[in-house]
A = this chain, B = another copy of it.
C-alpha cells in the first residue's frame, strides 16, 4: 500500500511536470532548477545570475525553503517577480513538487518572461526524484563538502545536466583533490557539464554564463 501511494505521488508529479514543459515551450520561457545541499551557495549563484542576465532577459525566481522568506528578501533588490514557497506549510517539506511550481507559474505573466530560476530546498536527496518541468537541472556542490558526493548521492548527479563546483576560492585552505571529484562525476554521469567557480568572488562564473545564455537563446529566440 505504501509503495502504491508513493507511485501515485511520483506519477501525478510527472504528469504535472509534462504540462509545465508544454506550457513553457509554448510561452518560450526557459526554466532552471537549482539543487544542492544546504549552504552550497544556491542563493549567491541566483543573485549573481540575475544581476548578470537581467539586462538581456526578463527573469522571475521561485525560492523554496522549509521556513523563512530570507532568500526571497536577499533577491528583492533586483526588482523582479519572486515567489517564496515555505514547504513547512505542506505535508512533505523536503523537496518542491511540480503542482506548486505550476501554481507559481500561473501567478506570473509568462508572456513577459524569458527565464524562471527555481531554487530548490537544500537537500541532495529528495528533490532528485521530483521533476519540475524545467529545461535544465543544475546541481551546486561546494568543494568544502568533499570529493565523494557524486558517488554517495547518485540520483541527484545522474538526473542533472550541469554541475557547478562552487567555493573554489577556499581551495588553498582545505585538503581537496580536484581530480578525484571530477573523476567521481565522470563515473556517475559521463555527460555532465562541469563549471568550477566561486559565486562569492565571481571567479569562473563567466563560462557558465555563456553556456547558459546559449541554452536559453536556443529555446526562446
With an 8 A cutoff between CB atoms, is A151 at the interface? yes
The stretch among A14-22, A118-126, A207-215 that forms the contact with chain B is A118-126
Task: Report the contact-size class of chain A (Cβ under 8 Å from the partner).
Answer: 35 or more
CB contacts under 8 Å to B, within A152-172, are: 152-155, 167, 170
The 8 closest A-B pairs by CB, nearest first: A39-B145, A94-B125, A144-B144, A37-B38, A37-B37, A173-B173, A39-B146, A38-B124
CB contacts under 8 Å to B, within A128-148, are: 142, 144-146, 148
Q: Which residues from B are CB-within-8-Å of A68?
A: 148, 151-152
With A38-B145, A94-B126, A170-B174 known, 13 other A-B pairs at CB within 8 A are A2-B9, A2-B91, A38-B152, A39-B145, A66-B125, A68-B152, A70-B151, A70-B152, A93-B125, A94-B125, A142-B144, A144-B170, A170-B173
- Assess whether B66 is in contact with A155, with CB atoms less than 8 Å apart: yes
When all copies of this chain in the complex are counted, the total is 2
16 A-B contacts (beta carbon < 8 Å): A2-B5, A2-B8, A3-B91, A6-B91, A37-B122, A39-B149, A40-B145, A67-B151, A68-B151, A70-B148, A121-B125, A125-B126, A126-B126, A142-B144, A144-B144, A170-B173
Q: Which residues from B are CB-within-8-Å of A5?
A: 1-2, 5
With an 8 A cutoff between CB atoms, is A191 at the interface? no
With an 8 A cutoff between CB atoms, is A65 at the interface? yes
Chain B residue nearest to A40 in the complex (CB): B145
Beyond A2-B9, A125-B123, whether A88 also contacts B39 by CB under 8 A is no
Residue from A39, A146, A173 having most chain B Cβ neighbours under 10 A = A39
Q: What 0/1 readout, one digit per residue, does chain A (49-69) give for beta carbons within 8 Å of chain B?
A: 000000000000000011110
Q: CA separation between A91 and B148, bound complex, in Å?
A: 23
- Assess whether A122 is in contact with B66, with CB atoms less than 8 Å apart: no
Q: CA separation between A107 and B92, bound complex, in Å?
A: 33
Q: Which residues from B are CB-within-8-Å of A6?
A: 91
Residue from A142, A144, A167, A174 having most chain B Cβ neighbours under 10 A = A144
Beyond A144-B142, A154-B66, whether A149 also contacts B38 by CB under 8 A is yes
